[in-house]
């Protein structure tokens, strides 16, 4: 099971490390290894969130997630994304941006760092919306009930998460954005940039998340109707009747937008990894290799969690991951002005997920001992 799920990650690791040695010697191998660990540590909560969505999709779309999705994650977000950011923010052609990445690494690093406020605002708002919509939803199983019960009641107010996220964006644009950190330790007023980018992140969530939810609900309605038609078909079978219509088209639309939603989530999670990687190297090739290997492990871990049913066995893991998302969203917004070590960012996610896993184990032990109901909180 492990080899079948992580086989591609293991194989790509060997090839990636060999390519690093061939590209720039044994020192490059160490850089790529460090970047891989950085990416995995920062994105473990991403794997848990993705697993919660991926388990609703068919085996076919899970394979798409591990093939086309990996290409998008490795080459799109870890290689092309920084180049596109430089091209857009510095008003350069893509060719010129690539030339900078290859021939003038220091200037390339400076441009990516200076673009961080817009990157952080977009990713921070997208992730914040994921967290808010989770925490405001009334769920049967609650982890931190003393927090989640009152928030679930507040969640009955329409568009509360959008209003709260908008308030956070306004506060960020009037505080940290007015003294945004720039390359070399300087600061600049990026209020307008942060406001625009944050609004783009909010709108992106509403569009992609809304379409995904719409088609998922359509699929549920169609499946319910299909159940009734199957019952009628079984009754009519004795009279020569035929079955109902296929649901392939609806399933395809729902799965496609879920896949798109997953890719945008991955993009938002990758922002801090890409920016943080510059603290280790400004070589775009080594960065793409290290972060790409890490992204492949995160995707393989996502599929492993789905196939093992881990989220069903340890029910608070999804809660912990969403709390980690909320923390990461706040950290991204704070880093517009202040530098925060990637170690702190990674540890926050690890602690929250580890706590939720431990709470899940305790819950399972209590249920096994007959002292708690399945819906009880930790």
Q: What is the pLDDT of residues 254-306, one digit of tens each?
A: 777 778 877 877 777 676 677 667 667 777 788 888 888 888 888 888 888 88
Closest CA to 78 of 271, 241, 349, 362: 271
Q: Is residue 156 part of a domain?
A: yes
Question: 94 and 84 in contact (C-beta within 8 Å)?
Answer: yes
> Pick from 166, 162, 163, 74: which is nearest to 121 by CA?
166
Take residue 244 and report the two structure tokens written for it.
């109902």
Phi, psi of 204 (to 5 degrees): -60, -45
> Is there a domain that residue 375 lies in?
no
How many domains, in total, are found in the chain? Answer: 1
Any domain includes 376: no
Residue 343 has pLDDT above 70, yes or no: yes
Q: Quote the domain boundaries for residue 355.
A: 2-368
Residue 377 lies in a domain: no
Share of the chain above pLDDT 90, in %: 15
Q: What is the mean pLDDT of the chain?
A: 80
Q: Is the pLDDT of residue 321 over 50?
A: yes
pLDDT band at residue 87 under the 50/70/90 scheme: confident
| 277 close to 38: Cβ distance less than 8 angstroms | yes
pLDDT (tens digit, 9 = 90+) per residue, 166-197? 999 999 999 989 888 776 677 888 899 999 99
| Predicted TM-score (pTM) of this structure | 0.76
Question: Please, what is the end-to-end C-alpha distance for the chain in angstroms?
Answer: 31
Q: Let me know: does 267 contact 77? Beta carbons within 8 Å.
A: yes
Residue 373 domain-assigned (yes or no): no
Would you say 259 and 54 are in contact if contact means Cβ atoms under 8 Å apart?
no
Q: Are 378 and 363 in contact (CB under 8 A)?
A: yes
Question: Cα–Cα distance between 156 and 151 in angstroms, integer?
Answer: 9
Check pLDDT > 50 for residue 249.
no
| pLDDT for 119 beyond 60 | yes
């Amino acid at each position: 099971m492990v080899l079948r799920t992580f086989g591609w990650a293991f194989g790509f690791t060997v090839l990636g490390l060999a390519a690093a040695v061939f590209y720039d010697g044994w020192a490059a191998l160490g850089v790529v290894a460090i970047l891989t660990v950085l990416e995995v540590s920062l994105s473990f909560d991403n794997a848990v969130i993705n697993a919660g969505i991926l388990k609703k999709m068919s085996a076919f779309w899970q394979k798409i997630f591990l093939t086309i999705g990996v290409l998008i994650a490795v080459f799109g977000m870890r290689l092309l994304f920084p180049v596109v950011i430089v091209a857009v923010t510095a008003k350069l052609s893509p060719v010129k941006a690539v030339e900078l990445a290859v021939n003038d690494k220091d200037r390339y690093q400076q441009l990516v760092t200076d673009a961080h406020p817009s990157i952080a605002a977009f990713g921070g708002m997208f992730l914040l919306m994921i967290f808010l919509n989770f925490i405001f939803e009334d769920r049967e199983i609650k982890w931190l009930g003393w927090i989640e019960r009152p928030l679930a009641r507040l969640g009955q107010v329409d568009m509360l998460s959008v209003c709260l996220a908008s308030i956070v964006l306004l506060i960020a644009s009037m505080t940290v954005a007015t003294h945004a950190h720039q390359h070399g330790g300087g600061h600049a007023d990026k209020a307008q940039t942060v406001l625009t980018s944050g609004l783009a992140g909010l709108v992106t969530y509403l569009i992609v998340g809304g379409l995904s939810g719409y088609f998922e609900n359509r699929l549920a309605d169609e499946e319910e109707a299909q159940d009734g038609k199957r019952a009628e078909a079984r009754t009519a079978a004795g009279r020569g009747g035929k079955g109902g219509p296929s649901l392939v088209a609806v399933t395809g639309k729902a799965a496609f937008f879920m896949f798109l939603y997953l890719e945008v989530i991955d993009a938002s999670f990758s922002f801090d990894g890409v920016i943080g990687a510059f603290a280790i190297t400004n070589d775009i090739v080594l960065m793409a290799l290290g972060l790409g290997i890490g992204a492949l492990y995160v995707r393989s871990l996502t599929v492993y969690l789905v196939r093992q049913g881990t989220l069903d066995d340890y029910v608070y893991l999804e809660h912990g991951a969403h709390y980690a998302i909320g923390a990461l969203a706040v950290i991204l917004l704070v880093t517009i002005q202040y530098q925060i070590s990637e170690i702190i960012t990674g540890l926050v996610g690890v602690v929250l997920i580890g706590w939720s896993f431990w709470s899940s184990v305790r819950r399972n032990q209590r249920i096994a001992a007959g002292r708690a109901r399945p819906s009880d909180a930790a």
